[in-house]
Chains A and B, each alone.
Chain A
Amino acid sequence: AQSVAQPEDQVNVAEGNPLTVKCTYSVSGNPYLFWYVQYPNRGLQFLLKYITGDNLVKGSYGFEAEFNKSQTSFHLKKPSALVSDSALYFCAVRDRRGTSYGKLTFGQGTILTVHP
């Protein structure tokens, strides 16, 4: 069974500082990995994904994530946080075996708060 852990319920950073939201995963095969963001009363918005290739993936709004196979991690990062980045962030995994379709397994989510 696949699983995702986001060890921090909340992350607080000051505007302009770098931010990291942590994610570790467990999956039988090689993973598809995703980050989604959810703003209040909104659906999930796709940020970025790792399928194959470079371990450093760049996504929307200046976010990036680094795939680390040995540590089974896929931490989300941004060099300089904005107040508008404050939201709920979800990491998700899908088993790569078979087709590219299949259910996502999500972490519990991390609330990111960026202070002015």
Chain B
Amino acid sequence: GAGVSQSPSNKVTEKGKDVELRCDPISGHTALYWYRQSLGQGLEFLIYFQGNSAPDKSGLPSDRFSAERTGGSVSTLTIQRTQQEDSAVYLCASQLADEQFFGPGTRLTVL
């Protein structure tokens, strides 16, 4: 069956531009997570959506980062005024029961 998909797979942008990263979770999974993987910081939690509850935004590194999840399905992570330190692989995961299923990630490069 279809897994978690993310788009784009690669994104190159200039410093100061805004970017949107998309995640399509596995159908029926109620929980959705965003993580960031970078050389210096490893895998970091960013934000978590669970059903209709208020999202856990405790991992967002600054107010330039925001995320939405529309209709309990697709999620978009938006980074405003990108900085070079935002360069990383952004991973999305959806969960049912105990296990999180990860997408292939979006590699973001900020020049």
Contacts and interface: CB of A to CB of B under 8 A. Distances in A.
Interface of A: 32, 34, 36, 42-46, 49, 51, 90, 100-109
Contacts, number: 46
Interface residues of B toward A: which range? 20 to 34
Q: Which of B43, B50, B93 has the most CB of A within 10 A?
A: B43
Interface string B15-43: 00000000000000001010100000011
B99 A49 contact: yes
Interface of B: 4, 31, 33, 35, 42-43, 45, 48, 50, 56, 59, 91, 93, 95, 97-105
A32 B42 CA distance: 20
Contacts of A104: 33, 35, 45, 100
Given A102-B48, A104-B45, A105-B45, A43 B104 contact: yes
Interface centre among A90, A101, A102 (most CB of B within 10 A): A101
